[in-house]
A and B are shown apart, each in its own frame.
Chain A
Amino acid sequence: MGGYIMTEQVPLLRVKNLTKIFGGVTAVSNMDFDLPEGNLLGVIGPNGSGKTTLVNLITGFVKPTAGRIEFRGKEITGWPPYKVVGEGISRTFQMVRPFYQLPAFKNLIVPLYSPRVKKLAGGKYGNRDAVALDLLEEVGFERDAYVSYKKAGALPQGYLKRLELAKSMALRPDLIILDELFSGLSLAEVASIVPIIEKLKTKGKTIIMIEHRLKELFRIADRVMVLNYGRKIAEGRAAEVMESPDVKEAYLGSEGE
């Protein structure tokens, strides 16, 4: 169990004995982990190992069967999503969920409208359109290009993923959970998004990334956690984790990568 960063203060996120059972199938069982502030935790595991359910549990989209989630020492187990966001946790969806009928930048109006943003902005909303366009530029939409004004339904996947990222960033969160942000993106697109995440990290944001793209993930992750059948089978630094025979068998198959 090496590789822990020993700190005295409370971790940003603490998950204890988290369990979720769906119609007889245990999706997440007895999950335990701590996430110190400013860390980037990578979560990997085969399909159906409970990664997305874990995200849904933390963000309140699914209520846990048992267990406890603490954020900054405050218990948030079973809170509805909007309250969890209010505490400073935001997420992206694996299957993007934009408002297809709205122009790309208008998509960001909705998160910018949230009470959290209002509180952080000192009670003033200001010109949301301008903020939205700035955010889009931050995630790689070209400034003043037509693409920001296009209907989200007409955007290619790469832009939709960026939009999804921008939507979670708009909430000014302390913890961002990225659910398979890179899935369905080409290498070039992934390469252009990685710096955005690195920049978030240098700004002191805590990030959980769920990924299949190990190469990119290992480059930026501080720690990696491996799930299989709803259980944590390994946790630690990337290199150490990948040495574990359990992980090799469960995840990479015989060949490895």
Chain B
Amino acid sequence: MLEVQNLMVFFENALALNDFGMEVREGQVVGVIGSNSAGKTTLMNTLSGLIIDMRIKEKRRGGERITVYGKVLFKGEDITKTRPSERVKKGIVLCRERHPIFPESDVSQNLQMAGYLRKRSEIRETVKEVFDLFPALIPLKSRKAGFMSGGEQQMLAVGMALVARPQLLLLDEPLLGLSPMMQHLLVDAIKGLKAKSGITVVISEQFARPVLPMIDFGYIIENGMLTLTGTGSELMDNPEVKAAYFGI
């Protein structure tokens, strides 16, 4: 479904992604595991096209020069230079890190905004699904999103991404800063999502422990380079992964 070939991303002279390649099959949950500044967010931004927007903005401002080489293929089509809004139309939706919500609007408006490109009936339908998935959001419907706790915001953020009706959902560090209970809840929700709608998910995380059991295939990335690949259980049994991410 998605294929990344020889991806290289430079921020001025710093190399954020080096010769990175990955492949995502339809219906899979794929994990990208790596520590801080390993290039996970850059990868997600490149997949969702945000990097194109960032490059234009930086260029206008005369700031850092962002250079992207390599290819991103979605369903066999080269989308390396496609704008983010076009990619959303094609079904690639990113949920950015650190609770990407609209703080001054309430929950239901947030969900409406996320469905910008979708039909009203579709939005109504998915919003219902989102509330089924996260019942905790129902009593908060008319609460301003900025006043909610980090966990509630993250639920909302995932819900918003779903309203945009993705075929390929990109989750950038969804578990960051959440308490263990919230983490369980989200992981369960993602599992349920996969079982129910067969959505394809790419999830980037630095905590391997909660993520590895649920992924079909994983990529471990360090300093912008791919160091290990394998199925979830393969990675879990790998001694190096254990040492680095489980602290054993």
Contacts and interface: CB of A to CB of B under 8 A. Distances in A.
Nearest to A216: B247
13 contacts: A46-B149, A46-B179, A47-B150, A48-B148, A48-B152, A94-B177, A157-B37, A158-B35, A188-B35, A212-B177, A212-B180, A250-B181, A255-B184
Interface residues of B, number: 24
A184 B185 contact: no
Contact of A189 (B14, B35, B149, B151): B35
B147 interface: yes
Interface in B169-189: 176-182, 184-185
A185 B182 CA distance: 18
B222 to A, nearest CB: 10
A251 B185 CA distance: 12
B149 A48 contact: yes
A30 interface: no
A156 B36 contact: yes
Nearest to B34: A186
Given A184-B206, A253-B185, 15 more contacts: A45-B179, A46-B151, A46-B181, A47-B182, A94-B177, A157-B37, A180-B177, A184-B36, A184-B176, A184-B177, A186-B35, A250-B181, A251-B181, A252-B180, A253-B181
Residue among B147, B152, B245 with max Cβ neighbours from chain A (10 Å): B147
Residue among A184, A212, A257 with max Cβ neighbours from chain B (10 Å): A184
Residue among B177, B178, B244 with max Cβ neighbours from chain A (10 Å): B177
B184 A253 contact: yes
Nearest to B147: A25
A253 B184 CA distance: 8
A47 B180 contact: no
Interface of B: 14, 35-37, 147-152, 176-182, 184-185, 206, 244-247
Contact of A212 (B14, B178, B185, B246): B178
Contacts of A94: 177
Contact of B182 (A46, A180, A255): A46
A10 interface: no
Contact of B147 (A22, A156, A184, A185): A22
Residue among B14, B36, B184, B247 with max Cβ neighbours from chain A (10 Å): B36
Residue among B151, B180, B182 with max Cβ neighbours from chain A (10 Å): B180
Contacts of A23: 147
A184 B76 CA distance: 35
B180 A157 contact: no
Contacts of B179: 45-47, 212, 251
Contact of B36 (A157, A180, A257): A157
A255 B206 CA distance: 22
A74 to B, nearest CB: 33
Given A46-B151, A48-B152, A157-B37, A187 B181 contact: no
Nearest to A94: B177
Contacts of B147: 22-23, 25
Contacts of B184: 253, 255
A47 B35 contact: no
A196 interface: no
